[in-house]
Amino acid sequence: MKISSTLLIVAAAFFGLTGCATLSKQECMTGNWQAIGFADGAAGRTADYLNNHNKACAKVGVAADYKAWEQGRKEGLKQYCNETNAYQIGRRGSQMSPVCPANVTAKLERINANGRQYYSLNKQLGIEQERLKKYQDDFDKLRSGDNLNFTSEKEARSYLIQLPAKASKVSERIKNIEQALEQLQIKYGY
């Protein structure tokens, strides 16, 4: 069964407003379990996640509709278990939840690993760019006569002499990281 666009909109609106794992009394009483299941599936939640909803709704005497929830969740998993999503999850630095069918899991895990590599490289790029900026700032200050925190002018001068080589190494690392990021962007189209 295809989830209608209306159901998708309801699920998105529902979870956009609640934003948490437990449901309010009103949400339990009027809950569209298929939409809730769809949103849970699209978020990569495991089947036992329904227990969280059951606990929240038991407080108001409402039981979750497992069949409707699971039907929605299975449709939501189609949104979660695809290559684009696997890569995007990795780019945020996260691993995929183990909810996808076995026949696609290995491929999605490889793609997700590439996304995590992008995340790691991008993080390292930021660190290297900050390091280069610090070296450039230190160089400018030392050239203008500031000894920074060095105890002697000799130490400051020695550091000043080392800075161009240090900056060059960092620039080379930045270039290599940027090339690796570009290759991942070309491979995945973003």
- Boundaries of every domain in the chain: 5-80, 111-188
Joined tokens for residue 19 = 């934003």
Query: Rounded to two decimals, what is the model's pTM?
Result: 0.76
Amino acid 85: pLDDT: 97
Query: 69, 33 in Cβ contact below 8 A?
Result: yes
pLDDT at 22: 60
Residue 129's CB: how many other CB atoms inside 10 A? 14
pLDDT of residue 154: 93
Task: State residue 19's pLDDT score.
Answer: 42
Q: Give dist(CA 61, CA 54) in Å, integer.
A: 10
pLDDT at 147: 84
CA 116 to chain centre: 8
DSSP 13-46: HHHHHH-SSS--HHHHHH--HHHHHHHHHHTT--
Report H helices in the chain.
Answer: 5-18, 25-30, 33-42, 50-58, 66-80, 83-91, 102-143, 153-188
Q: What is the pLDDT of residue 188?
A: 86
Report the pLDDT value the prediction gives residue 48, as an integer from 0 to 100.
93
What is the distance between the alpha carbons of residues 61 and 71, in angstroms, rounded to a whole number?
Answer: 23
Q: Which residue, 80, 79, 38, 36, is CA-closest to 54?
A: 36
Whether 143 contacts 117, CB under 8 Å = no
- The per-residue pLDDT string of the chain (190 residues; one tens digit each, 9 = 90 and over) reads 444 444 444 444 444 444 443 688 888 888 889 999 999 999 999 999 999 999 989 888 999 999 999 999 999 999 999 999 999 999 999 999 999 999 999 999 999 999 999 999 999 999 999 999 999 999 999 999 888 889 999 999 999 999 999 999 999 999 999 999 999 999 988 6
